[in-house]
Amino acid sequence: MSNNDSANGSGDARAHDATLHDKGLADVTTGVDTSPEGSESDPYAQYRDTTEGRVFTVTGGDWDEAMADVGGDERIVMNLGPQHPSTHGVLRLVVEIEGETVTNLRTVVGYLHTGIEKNTEVRNWTQGVTFVTRMDYLAPLSNEAAYCMGVEKLLGLEIPRRAQVIRVLLLELNRISSHMVALATGGMELGALTAMTAGFREREEVLHLLEYLTGQRMNHSYIRPGGLAQDVPEDTPEKVGEFVKLMKKRLPDYDRMLTGQPIWQNRLKGVGYLPVDACLALGASGPILRAAGLGWDLRKTEPYLGYEEYDFEVPVSNDADAFARYVLRVEEIHQSLRIIEQAVQKLEPGPVMVSDQKIAWPAQLSVASDGIGNSLDHVRNIMGQSMEALIHHFKLVTEGFSVPPGQVYTAVESPRGELGYHMVSDGGTRPMRVHVRDPSFVNLQSMPAMSEGGMVADVIAAVASLDPVMGGCDR
């Protein structure tokens, strides 16, 4: 090699070393790290470069400090629903989590939209009952009662006392049925499958009784503007008495199975906390509000259907968590049984529909054995009257009755809270507007406040404690 080549070779080596230095790499001949940043350039471990490659020295240290610069990489956005079984079928929760902690939660509704409110505008006032009873499938009679009370208020009607008492009886039976589903589905979602089977067993007892009284297990269309579709059977007091006796025997089982169970308590206590001021700010009502300490129950605060005549208590708790809502619903079942016993004692002979034949549709209905159509005796009765009576009955069924112009808001205490109907009439045979204040829709606003900052597993317990029914929420 010539002197020039040696010089060039040395110059190339020096240039290469300079390049390595500029890149923050070690001198390949000495293995010394000549990086200006040195070992501080990696947040996880110190290192040095050798002729065989880079060597890392893991020194341990504080993991939290090591992760401080990369915070946020654990943030995950996921969907609970709308197909998830713990979100009641058609509720979507968009949850942001860091680890197991919920940092943000958004509710997305509308997957079960049926257009029931708009459909009532193209049907007459009585036909609207067949729509509203299908919204909240766990409280069909509450929807029927609130809707019919609105129509009756617009008409200035006072329904017969027997019809009022029967309505109260049916509403409380329906409340028990709904609360039993809340206990059953809540237990199922949290792993207490025995609670699910027991809760649905009791619900079946209620549905059997409702079918005997109204002709239908669900979607009864039994409460009508002006009263009821028909009278209850003569042996109603005996049948209801047998049911009350059975429920009083079985209800203590839930205290042994759930209320006093340490696993159930640990799973629900302190979960889904929502204090009374948050309930008021978000418009929450029903068991959620009463479990936070405010005994607001429309049956007491703004009585309707003669509820002021009944002796019962409004359960209240100050714990404001999922366990308090569970205990409160169990106690409300006991109170409903008290009301049912009093309603049976108040049953006196009398009409169940107003006497005005221009309102009382269908007139003297007698349901067939299938529980759906008119009985043959009823058809013969209508056909055997005068031609004018037949024409009037035909027009009443097809066109309906006219309701004076005006607007009204009526509300009842459904199993989930305040269920209100804002109804507007333009003087015709159909509603101009029907808008429903459904408690499931309003109560779902509280999900972020109940869940953010808690564990993702507790989101399921929180939504179960709300007991939302999406048919009523989406409408």
- Type of residue found at 421: Y
Please say if the pLDDT value at position 5 is more than 70: no
Residue 83 has what DSSP assignment?
S
From residue 41, how far is each of 20, 33, 45, 436 by CA, in Å?
Answer: 16, 12, 9, 62
Please check whether residues 57 and 120 belong to one and the same domain: no
Please say if the pLDDT value at position 2 is more than 60: no
Tens of pLDDT, residue by residue over 191-205, are 888 888 888 999 999
Report the alpha-carbon distance of residue 152 to residue 146 in Å, rounded. 10
Please check whether residues 144 and 38 belong to one and the same domain: no
Please check whether residues 62 and 147 belong to one and the same domain: no
Instruction: Answer whether 101's CB lies under 8 Å from 179's CB.
Output: no
pLDDT, residue 371, reads: 53
SS3 (DSSP) at 417: strand
From residue 271, how far is each of 89, 240, 463 by CA, in Å?
Answer: 22, 37, 10
Which of 2-6, 69-73, 389-393 has the lowest average pLDDT? 2-6
Whose CA is closest to 40, among 64, 24, 52?
A: 24
Q: Looking at the domain assignment, is residue 344 inside a domain? A: yes
Domain that holds residue 29: 17-66
Please say if the pLDDT value at position 67 is more than 60: no
Please check whether residues 62 and 198 belong to one and the same domain: no
Question: Which residues on adjacent β-strands are paired with residue 424?
Answer: 407, 433
Question: Could you tell me if residue 302 is left (phi over 0), alpha (psi between -120 and 50 degrees) or otherwise beta?
Answer: beta
Report the alpha-carbon distance of residue 132 to residue 222 in Å, rounded. 12
Q: Looking at the domain assignment, is residue 381 inside a domain? A: no
Whose CA is closest to 283, among 408, 460, 420, 118?
A: 420
Please check whether residues 169 and 295 belong to one and the same domain: yes
Q: Looking at the domain assignment, is residue 246 inside a domain? A: yes
User: Can you read off the two tokens belonging to residue 180?
Assistant: 């039993």
Report the alpha-carbon distance of residue 414 to residue 172 in Å, rounded. 9
Report the alpha-carbon distance of residue 416 to residue 437 in Å, rounded. 12
According to DSSP, the β-strands at 75-80 and 92-98 are antiparallel
User: Can you read off the two tokens belonging to residue 334?
Assistant: 């006991």
Instruction: Answer whether 103's CB lies under 8 Å from 462's CB.
Output: no
pLDDT, residue 1, reads: 47
Q: In the chain, pLDDT over 70 holds for what percent of residues?
A: 79
Report the alpha-carbon distance of residue 18 to residue 303 in Å, rounded. 90
Q: Looking at the domain assignment, is residue 108 inside a domain? A: no
Domain tally, the chain: 2
Please check whether residues 26 and 172 belong to one and the same domain: no
Please check whether residues 327 and 440 belong to one and the same domain: yes
Non-local (6+) Cβ contacts of 23 within 8 A are none
pLDDT, residue 359, reads: 80
Please check whether residues 140 and 202 belong to one and the same domain: yes
Q: Looking at the domain assignment, is residue 135 inside a domain? A: yes
Q: Looking at the domain assignment, is residue 82 inside a domain? A: no
Tens of pLDDT, residue by residue over 347-386, are 989 888 888 777 876 545 555 555 555 667 767 766 666 6
pLDDT, residue 361, reads: 61
Residue 3 pLDDT level (bands cut at 50, 70, 90): very low
Please check whether residues 157 and 213 belong to one and the same domain: yes
Report the alpha-carbon distance of residue 325 to residue 121 in Å, rounded. 37
Cis status of the peptide bond prior to 362, with omega within 30 of 0: yes
CATH number at 214 reads 1.10.645.10
Please check whether residues 62 and 119 belong to one and the same domain: no
Instruction: Answer whether 364's CB lies under 8 Å from 381's CB.
Output: yes
Tens of pLDDT, residue by residue over 282-341, are 999 989 999 998 889 999 999 999 999 999 999 999 988 999 999 999 999 999 999 999
Tens of pLDDT, residue by residue over 90-129, are 888 888 888 888 888 888 888 888 889 899 888 888 888 9
Q: Looking at the domain assignment, is residue 179 inside a domain? A: yes
Residue 421 has what DSSP assignment?
E
Does this model's pTM top 0.85? My answer is no
Non-local (6+) Cβ contacts of 222 within 8 A are 141, 144, 170, 214, 215, 216, 228, 229, 230
User: Can you read off the two tokens belonging to residue 357?
Assistant: 């034949």
Please say if the pLDDT value at position 150 is more than 90: yes
Please say if the pLDDT value at position 132 is more than 50: yes
Q: Looking at the domain assignment, is residue 438 inside a domain? A: yes
